Structure 1
Amino acid sequence: MADVLVLGGTGTTGRRVVAGLRAAGVTPRAATRRPREPGQVRFEWTDRATHADALRGASAVYLVAPIGEAEPAALVAPFLADALDAGVRRVVLLSSSAVTEDTPGIGELQRLVRAAPEWAVLKPSWFMQNFTGAHLVAQGVRDGEIVTATGDARVAFVDAGDIAAVAVRALTDPGPHNTEHVLTGPAALSYAEAAAIVAAHLGRPIRHRAVGTAEFAARLTASGMPEEFAAVLAALDEDIRRGAEDRVTPAVEQVTGRPARSFEAFVRDEIASR
């Protein structure tokens, strides 16, 4: 296989996909706005000239849509046209379990990707890694109070490492997957239950406070998020409250041959060890 272009190559899943491709003997190109290391290439969604350079000689693409765009298809469609013209045959899209083809804006990406000769759509549930780093949930962990509009509904949080492992298989397997993979962890938890697990490992109180959808959207906007995108994310929390994410799938194990990582193991290894 020729090189694989990994968009968001330094991000949460992208850097793990890059590492997995290297371990599989495939040369990755990590697309980033500011390449600093060997194997990284410059990529700007709004600068089409960078698309051609990044795509040259690549046979497959791991596609992470532009962050913060409520209508990303306007940027992604020209890129995919460039990719197919450059000889890319396989495209693996990182989507979301909350997104369907009919979802306004971001749902259009799934239709675009199916135009590739070989494709896969990864639809993970909410990331376990949201509890770390710069995410608002992670800030809630640090503050002792996680705020969402999910009520007491459950989410089968999934580890980014498991998402990346599925992506690597979808990018490198001899035969194309040509399907969607709904990816979850092994158990569904409410944010209150997840907060209790984190609190037990950290040895300090952490609680979940449920707010209304409008209030949550306002909090996201106040954090610096564009208003339109904040409304999209708040609506996803509302979907969770209605039960949309309360299910577990075997997809991670079916594709990779190993069980999905549990939230307890994630907290023990990634949070409590810091």
Structure 2
Amino acid sequence: MEKILILGGTGKTGRRIARRLKADGRPVRTASRTSGDIPFDLDDPTTWAQALDGVAAVYVLEPNLRTGVDRRARMPRFVPEAVGAGVRRVVLLSAHGVGHADDSHPLKVAEQAVRGCGVGWTILRPDWFSQNFSESSWLPGILNGTLSLPTGDGRTPFVDAEDIAEVAAASLTEDRHSGQIYQLTGPRAISFGEAAHLISEATGRTIRHVDVAPEVFVERCVSDGVPADVARLLTGVLVAIRDGRGSAVSDGVERALGRPARRFEDYVAETSAAGHWS
């Protein structure tokens, strides 16, 4: 049985996809710059051939969102090499809003490369991950009791990374997902204040959301080591939520899996029970 290559295989979605595929008896190869089964770097084409050896399907993502990057040297080169090596399915982790963005969006080139690859492809456009509250940049705020973000009372339909992983695993192994673009969201939009309240109730701790000015948030990100251009990009998409431009609820999870998307409340209950916010 030919292998499935998971780029970013130890990341938030990658490790979940790998776990699902392995449980189903699928041979999986995880790859990343610093860990996984094999070293891989989109900036270093000499690492590509070994990662692609014997691979029939690949999960790809563009991790570098900085301006000034030569994107044509990355995904538009890697995807054809993957197809030339025998890959017959390509699944891309993109993001909400890329479909309406202009060509300056850092993920636009990646989507174009995948859609023109000549083999079966699927594009996943998820909303904000629920797991950002427990595994990523929002976790420190949850732990110290104050989540400071420039989102005001805006609402967005957080999507569970487990749902993303299940859709990705299905897309990597089933022909019926070929040519599909799945907008992935949770079943309802909530504010960051409501999210903090739900986590407070589950943990028995007081957690609040505080709206901050965009320029203050950019400065804080930069002081934490985030490149300035990435900090501005991140701030812009958060401010869009505050301005009422959070994404609408989508049926992508249900279309792909035949079941409703997982509720944020279920994610909170499970995460709290596992002690991640202790």
When normalised by structure 1's length, the TM-score is 0.92
Name whichever of 162-171 and 76-85 sits farther off: 76-85
The residue correspondences of 1:234-249 to structure 2 (distance < 5 A) are 234-249=235-250
The residue identity in structure 2 corresponding to 1:32 is S
The residue identity in structure 2 corresponding to 1:125 is D
* Alpha-carbon distance between aligned partners in 2 of 1:257 and 1:162, rounded to the nearest angstrom: 12
- Aligned match of 2:139: 138
1:188 matches 2:185 = no
SS of aligned partner of 2:123: strand
Name whichever of 26-35 and 70-79 sits farther off: 70-79
Whether the aligned pair in 1 keeps the contact of 2:76 and 2:113 (CA below 8 Å) is yes
What is the count of residue pairs matched by the alignment? 270
- Aligned match of 1:127: 129
* Alpha-carbon distance between aligned partners in 2 of 1:16 and 1:82, rounded to the nearest angstrom: 26
* Alpha-carbon distance between aligned partners in 2 of 1:206 and 1:248, rounded to the nearest angstrom: 26
1:54 matches 2:51 = yes
- Aligned match of 1:77: 76
Alpha-carbon deviation of 1:170?
1.0
Whether the aligned pair in 2 keeps the contact of 1:98 and 1:245 (CA below 8 Å) is no
Change (3 A) 1:269 1:254: same
The residue correspondences of 1:97-246 to structure 2 (distance < 5 A) are 97-100=96-99, 102=102, 103-116=104-117, 117-133=119-135, 135-246=136-247
Change (3 A) 1:72 1:216: farther
SS of aligned partner of 2:256: helix
- Aligned match of 1:93: 92
SS of aligned partner of 2:91: strand
The match for 2:40 among 29, 40, 43 is 43
Whether the aligned pair in 2 keeps the contact of 1:65 and 1:72 (CA below 8 Å) is no
Name whichever of 1-10 and 155-164 sits farther off: 1-10
* Alpha-carbon distance between aligned partners in 1 of 2:48 and 2:59, rounded to the nearest angstrom: 14
Alpha-carbon deviation of 1:88?
1.5
Q: Which runs of no fewer than 5 residues in structure 1 stay unpaired?
A: none
The residue identity in structure 1 corresponding to 2:233 is V
Whether the aligned pair in 1 keeps the contact of 2:76 and 2:109 (CA below 8 Å) is no
Once the two structures are superposed, residues 72-118 of structure 1 have per-residue CA deviations (whole angstroms, 9 ceiling, x without a partner) of 72422222232122122221110111323525222221111111221
SS of aligned partner of 2:181: strand
Change (3 A) 1:72 1:254: farther
SS of aligned partner of 2:96: coil
The residue identity in structure 2 corresponding to 1:83 is A
SS of aligned partner of 1:136: coil
SS of aligned partner of 2:74: helix
Alpha-carbon deviation of 1:272?
4.2
SS of aligned partner of 1:128: coil
The residue identity in structure 1 corresponding to 2:230 is F
Whether the aligned pair in 1 keeps the contact of 2:6 and 2:60 (CA below 8 Å) is yes
Whether the aligned pair in 2 keeps the contact of 1:72 and 1:106 (CA below 8 Å) is no
* Alpha-carbon distance between aligned partners in 2 of 1:246 and 1:178, rounded to the nearest angstrom: 22
* Alpha-carbon distance between aligned partners in 1 of 2:177 and 2:263, rounded to the nearest angstrom: 28
- Aligned match of 1:5: 5
1:262 matches 2:275 = no
Whether the aligned pair in 2 keeps the contact of 1:63 and 1:93 (CA below 8 Å) is yes
Alpha-carbon deviation of 1:60?
1.3
Alpha-carbon deviation of 1:202?
1.2
Alpha-carbon deviation of 1:2?
2.1
Q: Which runs of no fewer than 5 residues in structure 2 stay unpaired?
A: none
- Superposed CA RMSD: 1.8
Whether the aligned pair in 2 keeps the contact of 1:98 and 1:236 (CA below 8 Å) is no
Percent sequence identity over aligned pairs: 39
Name whichever of 60-69 and 10-19 sits farther off: 60-69
Change (3 A) 1:113 1:93: same
Alpha-carbon deviation of 1:241?
2.0
Once the two structures are superposed, residues 116-162 of structure 1 have per-residue CA deviations (whole angstroms, 9 ceiling, x without a partner) of 221111011100110012x2311110111111111111010011010
